[in-house]
Amino acid sequence: MNAPISEAASFSQQVSVTVTTNPVGRAYTVDGQTYSAAQAFNWSPGSQHSIGTTTPQSGGTGVQYVWSGWSDGGAISHNVTAPGSTATYTASFTTRYYLTTSAGNGGTVSPASQWYNAGQNVGISASANQGYQFTSWAGSGSGSYSGSNASANVTMNAPISEAAAFSAAGQVTVMTNPAGRSFTVDGQTYTAAQSFNWTAGSQHSIGTATPQSGGTGIQFVWSGWNDGGAISHAVTAPGSTTTYTANFTTQYYLTTSAGNGGGTVSPASQWYNAGQNVGISASANQGYQFVSWAGSGSGSYSGSNASASVNMNAPINETASFSQQVSVTVTTNPVGRSFTVDGQSYSATHIFSWSPGTQHTIGTTTPQSGGTGVQFVWSGWNDGGAISHTVTAPGSATTYTANFTTQYYLTTSAGSGGTVSPASQWYNAGQSVGISASANQGYQFVSWAGSGSGSYSGSNASASVNMNAPINETASFSQQVSVTVTTNPVGRSFTVDGQSYSATHIFSWSPGTQHTIGTTTPQSGGTGVQFVWSGWNDGGAISHTVTASGSAATYTANFATQYYLTTSAGSGGTVSPASQWYNAGQSVSISATANQGYQFVAWTGTGSGSYSGTNSSASVTMNAPITEVSTFSIVTTLPPAPPNLISPANGAIAQASNVNFQWSASARAVNYDLYLSTTNPPALRQADASGTSFPVNGLGCGLTYYWAVTAKNPSGKAASQTWTFQTSACGNNDEPAAAKVVSSLPSTNEQDTMTATSNAADPLHSCTGTTDSNTVWYRYVATFTGVLQISSAGSNYDTVLSAYPGTAAPGAEMACNDDSGNYQSSISINVTSGQSYLIEVSDYGQTGGGSLVLSLTGGPQTLNTVSPNSGSGSSQMFSAVYPSGIQWGQLLFAQTPSGNGQSYCFVHYDRTGNGLWLYGSGGFFVGPVTPGVSSNLLQNTLCAVNTAASSIQSQGGSLTVNASLVFKGSTARNIYTRSLDASGIDSGWVQRGTWTLQAASLPSPTTLPSSGAGSSPTFKLTYPEPPGFGGIPSGWAQFLIGAATDGGGQPFCFAHYDRAGNGLWMYSSDAGFFLGPISPGTPSNALSSSACTVSTGTVSIQNTGGGLVVTLPLTLNAPINGAKKIYMRALDALNRDTGWLEMGAWTVQ
């Protein structure tokens, strides 16, 4: 350390390089050093090194290795540069083995001894010298051959030695004709004549194969050996020189093909004998034509004949070529119009075959006549070309269509007395054309007489025709006469030709025309006033036909005025006559009669001609509606004396459940009230008893009762003392075998069930899903066949009622109910006289019972039926059959009788008033409607009654209500019936079946026309009605022309027709509200806006059984010019809204 020193060590990266051979163990050198096994070196990247080897290298006797290359592609000895990563250099060698061949005395072998690659297949052959024949090979080494085949193969899997042996033989030649065909001798194959030296008498086999290829398109077919043997057979070596020849027939292959898929050729490609003459033919496919044959080979054919022949002097190729023909159809729409193609005229669709790319001319003429009143106007070719133009045949089938618009001639003419519009002219087929007739002064339009499909015949001066054919329209006019129709007194309603009026109206009629005048009776004139028709001044019936005369006339409907006399009696008497109608000015006697204990006081009358006074008999004069009220007063001024109770005695015990209560008569008493209950003071049990006793059945067992009686008369009442008694102790009716017997009806049974029990044997209740608790049992043996009603109304706990057939043990459950109101229960069952029934009363759940009041009523009545009682549909006639003496019958479609909070269909028939009712969506019944009368009144959100189709049938002991129902919703519902008979027995709700309701389809409206263009169209709008509800003035219809239903931000034309009010409205976007109403047919300019105007004077309305037809003439103004859509909407008689429906398109111009 002579000074500060810095030392920095540097390192070079070493890379692992492996040098080896394949197969391993061969010698090689690296940087001049020899190695014979794989060697790994550490070299610095980029350093230079030399690697090399030698070739061949010996592997032992008969084995050597010949270098084939380094893995890096370098020369046998070359330099390499150490890479930057691990690398391997491999010298690959091919292994070789030595084949040693040798021949014994009498022949030679091939090949000579030499080296071959390992695995190489090497053919060896032995050839016998003259006078010798080959005997066998003797081989040694893996892959060698030992055997009698002169020619064989060896596989060089190791060094091999092969020695051939020969023996002396006779001369035999084997050959083919023609020469060069293969054959086998003793399993050895030859392709040229071969001579053998065979030992006389030795056995040999000769054979050949057939066919044999002679090169492309040539084959040889064996025809026989010259010794007559089979194709392969054994021969015995003769003692002299012999030749065996295999003879072959030469054949050439004829290849036929069709070019470009445009046709087919015959025959198919196949072999033919040399020199044979073969016919060939070509057939073109649809849309193609044959062009030519192109042949090659000696004897082939080339030319334009589709059928030709070839001579098979060599292999021949024949190719048929075709050119494509495109199918071009030229036609007209409609068909039958004339046209020309390349100057030729046609009048029917024609199909041409043209070559693609060729030029052709098509054309037509316009207009073309289609007969009287019909013409066809050319509207264009489908390719957009001129009426006559050139087309280029395309590459695929094409149709050129000359489109024509069919036009029909509208001939309009006016009879004497008026003019018509438009003038006679041509119109497009299907076009809707408005026609109008204007009467001259002193005339009136009578009718249009139209002929031709789409024509109009009728009495509307403005109408429309649809040009479905040539149309003739002739307007007729008649001279007018003034006819006045009125009433006396004025203001009464009448009809003329079906139109209603309520004021004098003057008509202009054509002399000789028929008209109908009529009125109704009676007609209301306000409260208490009516008008009764007494006759027409012409002596006709209330509705009759009149013929317009040649001069002015007046028809008057005369009415008699009537006023209503209302008579009523206050408490204590009666009056006569009953309230009714009387003619104006009529004198009517009235009288009042006091009841016993009362006296007449006075009449109090109101109205002109009435009487007020103290005469019980008087008279009134009917100058106006009159009300007469009579008053009465009590004759006595003393109340009755208190009654004395007799039986049961006060404090009595062990009373039976059926008790006859008795008391003494009370002075001045008119009637009595009986009070009886288990509470004090007792509750009213029976009011207005007329005698001094009253029976009560079914008192509860083991209970203390309180009772009293009150005497009454008009002056007051007096009460007795309150007495008490006890009923006999209860038997144990906890079980069905000990059920309490109900002996007669009606029956009311009271019982404390708080100590009642239940057990596992109690039946499961279908209405609660459990056995419930505190069960008690009753038994009733029916004394009639009919309906038994059972109720727990009046009980103070939540009861469950169930009924079963049986005496001591219950059978199958007949009915079950938990709640029918206020937690009490009610059921009805069908009973048969003489049969025993068990009734179980339970406490719902586990609440512990209470005070039970069980009432049983009933009587002869057949439970109701309904047909059909199952199925599905959107409309159906249901026939509900009830006993003939019912007061009312009901039909219900619901989840449960209470509705269960879901929608239901509830139909009620009142037999007394012969009226149908329906429970409406508003929570109350709507009606009545007489069956057979058309009405849409009876409907709710789920259903509607088609009253026009509904009917009532009474036959024998039954009443059938045929209710035609239409359903508006889709759901599943149970069917129930119920009725009340003449004696007041209510059958209760009984399920009769199930029905799957399907919502009736909503009819779609239509418009004619549904498309077109113009500014003054007339639209015929049809709004279908649901079957059974046609012609009912209910709902509305709407029509809109615009970009969208809300106008789409642009002006639009929106018309509304109110069916109930027979009024036309129009929405004005200028004003922002509806304008109207205007009665259809009434001329008015009120329905007008910047968008459009409704010609109200020529609007017509038709209400038919099939629906509503509105003829709507419009004038469409410039602000809505352009392409617009047509929309329609309706609210039908079942209150169903179609919503806006897009029905077509209209171009306003």
pLDDT average, residue stretch 284-294 = 84
DSSP state of 118: T
Contact 322, 289 (CB under 8 A): yes
**DSSP class per residue in 400-465:** EEEEEEEEEEEEEEE-TTEEEES-SEEEETT-EEEEEEEEPTTEEEEEEEEESTT---BS-SEEEE
pLDDT at 73 over 60: yes
Q: Which residue has the tokens 């057949």?
A: 862
Q: Do the bridges between strand 326-333 and strand 398-414 make them parallel or antiparallel, or are there none, so unpaired?
A: parallel
Tell me the per-residue pLDDT of 644-697, one tens digit each, with 9 for 90 and over.
Answer: 999 999 999 878 778 999 999 998 888 999 999 989 999 999 999 989 999 988
CB atoms within 10 A of CB 896: 15
User: Which residue from 1004, 1055, 1039, 1034 is spatially nearest to 1132, judged by alpha carbons?
Assistant: 1034
Q: What pLDDT is recorded for position 1124?
A: 93
Q: What pLDDT is recorded for position 185?
A: 95
Identify which has the larger pLDDT, 1117 or 758. Answer: 1117
**What is the separation of C-alpha 837 from the centre of its chain, rounded to a whole number of angstroms?**
51
Six-digit token pair at 885? Answer: 């003496």
- Residue 171, H or E segment: strand 170-177
**DSSP class per residue in 629-681:** EEEEEES---PPPPP-EEESPTTEEEE-SSEEEEE---TT--EEEEEEESSSS
pLDDT at 862 over 60: no
Tell me the per-residue pLDDT of 89-104, one tens digit each, with 9 for 90 and over.
Answer: 999 999 999 999 999 8
Which has the minimum average pLDDT: 288-302, 628-642, 992-1006? 628-642
Of the ranges 365-369, 752-756, 812-816, 1088-1092, which is most confident?
Answer: 365-369
pLDDT at 709 over 90: yes
Q: What pLDDT is recorded for position 6?
A: 85
Residue type, 898: S
In which band, very low, low, confident or very high, does the pLDDT at 730 lie, cut at 50, 70 and 90? low
Tell me the per-residue pLDDT of 814-846, one tens digit each, with 9 for 90 and over.
Answer: 889 888 767 888 888 888 888 999 999 999 887
pLDDT at 731 over 60: yes
Sheet holding 815-817, edge to edge: 740-742, 773-781, 836-843, 799-805, 815-817
Six-digit token pair at 259? Answer: 């070019």
pLDDT average, residue stretch 873-892 = 90
pLDDT at 441 over 80: no
Q: Rounded to an integer, what distance in angstroms lies between the CA atom of residue 1030 and that of residue 1034?
A: 10
pLDDT at 988 over 80: no
CA–CA distance from 587 to each of 407, 563, 590, 618, 624 (Å)? Answer: 78, 12, 10, 10, 12
pLDDT at 306 over 60: yes
Q: What pLDDT is recorded for position 323?
A: 80
Tell me the per-residue pLDDT of 162-213, one tens digit each, with 9 for 90 and over.
Answer: 999 887 666 789 999 999 999 999 999 999 999 887 877 889 999 999 999 9
In which band, very low, low, confident or very high, does the pLDDT at 1104 lie, cut at 50, 70 and 90? low
Write down the pTM of the prediction: 0.37
> Hey, is 1096 helix, strand or coil?
helix
> Hey, is 1048 helix, strand or coil?
helix
pLDDT at 1052 over 80: yes
Q: Rounded to an integer, what distance in angstroms lies between the CA atom of residue 1074 and that of residue 490?
A: 35
The share of the chain scoring above pLDDT 70, in percent, equals 97
Identify which has the larger pLDDT, 1073 or 721. Answer: 721
The share of the chain scoring above pLDDT 90, in percent, equals 65
Alpha carbons within 13 angstroms on the beta-carbon side of residue 348 total 0
Q: Which residue has the tokens 């505190």?
A: 774
Q: What pLDDT is recorded for position 901?
A: 83
Q: Rounded to an integer, what distance in angstroms lies between the CA atom of residue 80 and that of residue 90?
A: 13
Q: What pLDDT is recorded for position 845?
A: 82
CB atoms within 10 A of CB 130: 10
CA–CA distance from 285 to each of 263, 288, 325, 350 (Å)? Answer: 4, 5, 9, 20
pLDDT average, residue stretch 996-1013 = 92
Identify which has the larger pLDDT, 324 or 107. Answer: 107
Q: Rounded to an integer, what distance in angstroms lies between the CA atom of residue 569 and that of residue 62?
A: 155
Which has the minimum average pLDDT: 336-340, 485-489, 980-984? 980-984
User: Which residue from 976, 979, 978 is spatially nearest to 993, judged by alpha carbons?
Assistant: 976
Helices (H), ranges, 835-877:
none
Q: Rounded to an integer, what distance in angstroms lies between the CA atom of residue 510 and that of residue 513?
A: 6
In which band, very low, low, confident or very high, does the pLDDT at 13 lie, cut at 50, 70 and 90? confident
DSSP state of 912: T
CB atoms within 10 A of CB 107: 20
Residue type, 280: I
**Burial class of residue 449 (count of CB atoms within 10 Å of its CB; 0-12, 13-18, 19+):** middle
pLDDT at 543 over 70: yes
Q: Rounded to an integer, what distance in angstroms lies between the CA atom of residue 847 and that of residue 863?
A: 35
Identify which has the larger pLDDT, 968 or 637. Answer: 968
In which band, very low, low, confident or very high, does the pLDDT at 596 lie, cut at 50, 70 and 90? confident
pLDDT at 859 over 90: no
Question: For the chain, what is the mean pLDDT?
Answer: 90
> Hey, is 1120 helix, strand or coil?
helix
Give phi and psi for 1118, each to the nearest 5. Answer: -55, -35
Q: Which residue has the tokens 């469409």?
A: 1116
Residue type, 174: V
User: Which residue from 800, 789, 785 is spatially nearest to 840, judged by alpha carbons?
Assistant: 800
Q: What pLDDT is recorded for position 818?
A: 86
In which band, very low, low, confident or very high, does the pLDDT at 260 lie, cut at 50, 70 and 90? confident
pLDDT at 1074 over 90: no
pLDDT at 714 over 90: no
**Segments of 72-168 assigned E as strands:** 77-81, 87-103, 107-110, 114-117, 121-128, 132-140, 151-155, 160-168
Q: What pLDDT is recorded for position 983?
A: 67
In which band, very low, low, confident or very high, does the pLDDT at 1070 lie, cut at 50, 70 and 90? confident
